[in-house]
Structure 1
Amino acid sequence: MRRLLAGVLFLASLAAQADRVATLPPAWQGRLQPVPELDLQGAEPAARDAIRAARAALDQLLARPDTPPDRLATAWGRLAALYQLTGIDRGARLAWDNARRLEPRRFRWAYYAGYHALERGALDRAAEALAAAARLKPDYPPLALQRGRLALALGRLDEAERFLRQAADHPGLRAAALYYLGQLALLRHRPQRAVQVLEEALRLAPEADGVHYALAQAWRALGDRARARAHLARFHHRKAPDYRDPLVAELDAALHSARARFRLGMEAIRRGDYATAAARFREGLRQEPDNLHARVSLARTLYLSGHPKEAERMLRKVAARPHAPVLARFLLAVLAEARGDTEAARKGYEAVLARDPRHPGAHYQLANLLMRSGRFDAAAREYEQALAADPRITPARLLAVIARRRAGAPERTLAARLEALHREAPDDAHLTLALVRLRVLAHDPAVRDPARALALANALAPAHPSPPNIAALALAAAADGQYETAARLQRQVIDLLAWQAPPPVLARARARLAAYQAHRLPEEPPFPENDPLFAPPPLDVTAVFRDYPAARPY
């Protein structure tokens, strides 16, 4: 399974250092502003992970001068959001500016830049960005609230009142707009008006204790010190009324949503940090407890971080749900096979295929089980279906041919199939090796072709000088009558195997050398049953849990 796709779920890790973000490639210099590595010491671990992942993703996009501007702007926007939520103002300002440069006519980048500047008290920058946002989408209701807040901060009271009244016409904005209108009334020395609007704001948002402070000021101005003290006693955190702003809600979700936690889990997986990945998936699942795909991903990280029993318990709980992801049942079947419970594994793989008849992993693993149990016809069919479902399962190519041979298929049929596969995949060393052996050791004289074997082996061994391929060249040389050359090559094979090969492999290599020294071919079938090259690979559960693709990881 190690070759069975590096999938959507567990990919090769992203570069940890995002150099191109700090030092822009020539194609982007002058068009964008570099963002240096900034101090993240004060940020929570999840935020640090998210920022590093966002910079790494940007680094990859900046490597290509033809990256589409909208895609690059989105990546800058994600980095800006993370910096803003983490309180790293310089990074947020530069990243928002880059998003705006790439997509100057996209409303959200101007709005976010203005919102960030306003929150940080950079009023001139806020004025420019919010004015640009107003030109792009003047009817976005929360924009009126932000422009009213800005005008109030700049002392432009008439302008502030106009914008805030517009915002107050929208139910999701009314409490916040009335809060700022109350402050505006206080600045105009109209405490009675301030009380009127602030009390309505408090009815709409009773949790907003900042309103109590403004009401205390209004009642003090009206001479009612008792009411002023009562409101002041309820003022603790200066919390303003919340308001509905879809874009600001998206901004917060960049770090704090369940999906953000799942994305951080995925980035930790790519780094091989499975314990952190499990923690991030747990955090996300607290917000989305019914996300079964995320639970499967959590189970995988638990297995990879050394908690196989907990992983299996979680997979069983997921698999018991009516619409469980088929991947949960597949992984449970793999665990059953690893325990040696081949019957449970077989039933598990068959259950997966009943749900998803084109599941490549289930076809492949079931084929391996059938092959080991001697059911060669059935194994061949499963290997062929695995290949039909996903041609990238390269071991299934040769194993299907071997299974057909074990089932009694004629050597001529095998030769034709191997030649066809070799044309399709000339770089597949295992296919070439098998074809060399068949062209030399076939029982059918019509299949034996020493010249073809030698040509194949002469191309194979220099390109892939492993012991099996050098041994194939020795065999082809012997078939061509070059026994001295064959013996010399076989001695190289023995020297390479001597320090690492198990005794049976070394014994076979020495028997072949003895045959060449006696000027004869070794007496063995083309595909010996005791040769691991022509048998299913051992099940590697860790590789399956790490590498098998999840179409939907959360």
Structure 2
Amino acid sequence: MRLTDENLPGRSDAESLSESPAAPEKPVRRRSLWVRKRFWAGCAGLLLIGVLFRLVWDWTHPPSPLLQVAADAAPEVAELLREANQLAQDTVAIFPDDPYAWDVMGQLLGRFGKTEEAAQCWEKALKLDPKFAVGYQSLGNLALERGELKKAAEYYRRAWELERDSSVYPVQLAEVLIQDGRLEEARQVLTECLRRHPRSLPARALLGQILVPLKDYSAACEHLMYVITANPEYTNAYYPLSTALSRLGQTEEARKYLARFQELKRRDEQRHRMDLKKETQLPAVRAAVARAYLLVAKIYIARGDISTGERLLNRGQELNPDEKEIPPLLAWLQFKTGRENEATSILRDYRQKHGNSLEAQMAAGKVFAEFKKFEEAEAAYRRAIELTPLEAGGYAALASLYITAGRRPFDAHVLALRAVAREPAPQFFFILALAAQRDGDTPAALAAAQEAARLDPSNDQYQRLLESLRRTP
């Protein structure tokens, strides 16, 4: 007989009856297990979809290059880089059609080693404005870093063609041409630059250097002596000057200038070694981010958003109190919004802090002059003349102030003559023409206007003044 639950020994009928309903539980358990499997399979599917979506998103939306740099930086530097990234991203999002917005992004990316991405920003800027000279210059800088000399030369040349009055672009172009062995071409570029900017020390120093291998030793000495007279600390002028003098047989003079070169070179190398020992990363990053705030502020100000521009400038100044361009612009905004006392205070402090800076005195004077603060502007321009008595800028600025204010016509005439004597450039002959006209000397005014128009025949302002003086009885 087969043993079953019913005939097992020791089990009663009551027990058998109480357990008899357990038979239907088996299919219920199977269904519950099936439901749980479906649930976990669904969860796994959703997780897989999420992972795939994240992979696709990361592939199509790579992290910002600046954030990539920030990931490997020290905490304080990383925080600044994230701030800079947000500033740049917001700027190009708000002003996608403004080449200056893309220039800000490009400058930040280039500054922190993301050169490919920086190049894309400047290419975008040039698509928006093919006459955006800064874009060509920046692409030239990148090409030079890569050693692509011919490409760099073409970029610098294009920038110079767009801004012919620049004294920076032709010097950069000449430097590349020299590295590429195109000395005669560099000579022509620098000669043209000096025709427009005869007191440009970088242009004269470079021209003097290339005239030595071109064996024009006398001209080389003339240019290089000019440079070291204007700036005795100009290290790189001494060695080619020594070489040129040696070729001319002036051995003692050559030795003297060679010794001076070696002395300055040792000093420069010592300063460089000291700089390397300093912890300079954080201050340099702060300065770069402050510069970005300044550039973005200019975009907002150009569009009439004064409050945002001022907020950005304040943040830039907080990051780098030594950024020289911020205080004059802040003062200009405060003058513009009727806060004359605050603006005047800023510029006075600025002039005092940078008392030996020509650029600072000229910038302060320009803002004071625009808002008719005659005495303050006059003091700033006089200080500029004291700092650089051999330069034309201070004399021309003070002459222009007197002309615009209708004061001291004779003094304006004398100052304009001094400016032209130091730099016979078209813009200074134009100021001389105006000053002579105000001083009642029509023949001198006509002669100066003719010279300005001759030096820059495409300038409509010069031509109009010349025609007006020709009609004067």
TM-score (norm 1): 0.35
Computing the radius of gyration over CA atoms, which structure comes out larger, 1 or 2? 2
